[in-house]
Structure 1
Amino acid sequence: MTVNSVEKDLDSRTMTITAHFDAPVERVWQVWSDPRQLERWWGPPTYPASFTEHDLSPGGRAAYSMTGPEGDRHHGWWRFTAVDAPHRIELEDGFADDQGRPTDGLPSMTMLVTLTEQAGGGTTMAIRTTFPSSEAMEQMVAMGMDEGMRAAMGQIDDVLASAVTS
């Protein structure tokens, strides 16, 4: 498993997941910048993602759905607020209806993704999610967000080991 730690801080309303990958920063960046690679790991193994939109630029959007084992579909959206390739992505993350419109009832969050090259080789990826309230954080944790992210990120090694096709 590539995930090294999951730290939850209710006071600051953050959850930070840190993982190490045996690949250079530029290669790890591709699992975010290439939607076909992103589809291979975003979402737990039993909920694969399909991206219908992916504009990794400041102000750009991403839209996706995850399909569950019973055929149930869950939609999400991202709005990229800052991109510093190949080291940093800031985005807003939320749930969507089947038309890609943000939904009420479930919180949107902000995510900061950082990729740091390690002196001994490889890359550390940290994903810090900030929630709008401690209640929103508790709701998402109760829904299994930390386990889902851990399972999703556990798929990245296989993506990194495969040839880049785009």
Structure 2
Amino acid sequence: MTYGKFRKTFSLSIPVDRAWQAFTDPKELEVWQTGTVEQADVRPGGRIAWEADEYGQLVWEIVDVDAPNKLVYKEGATFLPAESEVTVIFEEAGTGTRITVTQAGFGDDEDWETHLENVGTGWAQTLAALDLYLRTGVRYDRFFTFQSGLGMLTDDVLAGSLVRTVQDSGFAADAGIRPGDVILKLGTAPVFSRTDLWMFTREHGIGEDVDVAFARDGEVITARAALSEPM
């Protein structure tokens, strides 16, 4: 992974046509994405749009289509602070399909490294719903389940969850957390990675007062603040 681009390749034990359907058919998208698809015009210049509950409207603006082998779309600044372009390639691989997802257009600034790490984790957890459905027939959303937010972005380093940016207001700012701090604990739970942070905000709601411990300049600092809205 380099600045400005995320790429993930994975395989599904289904034919290419079936994999294509999972990414373009409204009912299939509703299984592994979130909300209700309101429009699905899979042609250049068309769009796939759906209401995603508390996240508002999500839109894929279709750029290029070569069914069932390539889908290119633009995604607005919903979960990320800038528009990006996603290319999905579907290839036969034995008895299944190899899929390569590339999300790009963020720019080359090093500050985007944190966003790209979040994109990677987000794709992995969202695609888990797709694979679960195709393997078992079960629809179960485990990604779009955030109840609160922390008001910060972090990187996973060997030491743990390293803070990169802090919003002007929110939990992190109120707790006195700064870029460069390493989060050690939330509540009574130790923190080793962003997935620990995500799990915590999926279990605890906005406004709940939470203890946090973080490392800075040779000492452990403890604070308490209220959880903020999801980012």
* TM-score normalised by L of structure 2: 0.53
Instruction: Flag structure 2 segments of 5+ consecutive residues without an equivalent.
Output: 138-231
Aligned match of 2:74? 92
1:30 maps to a residue whose letter is: Q
Aligned match of 2:92? 117
Question: What is the aligned residue count?
Answer: 136
Distance 1:74 1:134, change over 3 A: farther
* TM-score normalised by L of structure 1: 0.72
Runs of 4+ in 1 over 6 A off after TM superposition: none
Matched residue SS, 2:32:
coil
Structure with greater contact order relative to length (CA < 8 Å, sep ≥ 6)? 1
Contact kept in structure 1, 2:62 and 2:74, CA below 8 Å: yes
RMSD: 2.4
Tell me which of 28, 46, 55 is aligned to 1:60: 46
Tell me which of 71, 77, 99 is aligned to 2:59: 77
What CA deviation, in whole Å up to 9, does each residue of 1:92-114 have, x standing for no partner? 11136xxxxxxxx8200011100
* TM-superposed deviation, 1:51: 1.9
* TM-superposed deviation, 1:139: 5.4
Tell me which of 1, 26, 49 is aligned to 2:17: 26
What CA deviation, in whole Å up to 9, does each residue of 1:13-59 have, x standing for no partner? 210011100001011111012111111112xxxxx232222111111
Instruction: Flag structure 1 segments of 5+ consecutive residues without an equivalent.
Output: 1-7, 43-47, 97-104
What CA deviation, in whole Å up to 9, does each residue of 1:104-162 have, x standing for no partner? x82000111000001x21101111011231347435336x2211110111122233244
Distance across 1 between alignment mates of 2:7 and 2:121: 12
1:145 maps to a residue whose letter is: V
Aligned match of 1:101? none
Aligned match of 2:7? 16
Q: How high is the sequence identity, in percent, across the aligned residues? A: 24
Tell me which of 92, 99, 102 is aligned to 1:128: 102
